[in-house]
A = this chain, B = another copy of it.
Amino acid sequence: MADGTRRTRAFEEVLLQVERRIADDGLKVGDRLPGERQLAEQLQVSRSSVREAIRVLETLGVVSSQVGRGPDAGAVLTSRPDSALTDLLRLSLGLSSLSLREVIDTRLMIERWSAEHAARAAPLPEPAEALMEAMLAMEAAASAEDFVRHDIAFHVAIAEASGNRLIAAVMRALRGAMRKYAIEAVDRLGDTRVLREDHRRIYDAIVSGDTATAVDAVTAHLAHAYPELF
């Protein structure tokens, strides 16, 4: 008989306390958590339980553990949600609990939003430079894998140019989790000319601040990359 409230495990209590401490003490990125042994004593649990809690926080990209001694040693608060998101999506795809269709549709939503807002924010010299650099690298790419690496950089740069770090993080995670499928898609296409022309059009629209054209261009781009879904 399940009463719905499984007894909370020791490491979950540690998680609650640490999160409470972050909120109450106003801990910021760069601050350190107490050592594992000290935390264990404070919360009256074993070091193993503390370690499991820290492992969870590390998985969520909230802390980073460093061995040794000194100001940078121990569990330091960070904020790198990207890898957590990427792992999450990759594993969900691996378990087939999400269809490629759902992921691509999500990507299309984010690409359109990013392109629109990046164009609206134009002209910004740094993003434009990052985009151009990725395009040149794609021209010189020798393999599908190489091409996809710079393709990811290109699209992530658009998301970053939008100015929204959450959306940029989701884009990074999506592309990271889909890397394998993207390489396969490029291999299937054989020729990347269409994709490269798409990139050029996207670039021009964004740097000239033409939001409508930018949105249309990324939409057409995804249709070219995944013709079977359109």
Contact = CB atoms under 8 A, between A and B. Distances in A.
9 contacts: A51-B52, A56-B59, A60-B84, A62-B92, A77-B95, A79-B95, A81-B92, A109-B113, A109-B167
A91 B59 contact: no
Given A22-B94, A23-B94, A61 B79 contact: no
A103 interface: yes
Contacts of A97: 29, 79, 81, 165
A194 interface: no
- Chain A at the B interface: SS class: helix
Interface of A: 11, 19, 22-23, 27-29, 48, 51-52, 55-57, 59-62, 77, 79, 81, 84-85, 87-89, 91-92, 94-98, 102-103, 105-106, 109-110, 113, 164-167, 170
Contacts of A87: 60
Top 7 A-B pairs, shortest CB-CB distance: A79-B97, A59-B59, A102-B166, A56-B59, A52-B55, A102-B164, A109-B113
B59 A165 contact: no
Given A56-B59, A109-B109, A98 B11 contact: no
A56 B57 CA distance: 9
A215 to B, nearest CB: 13
Contacts of A89: 81, 166
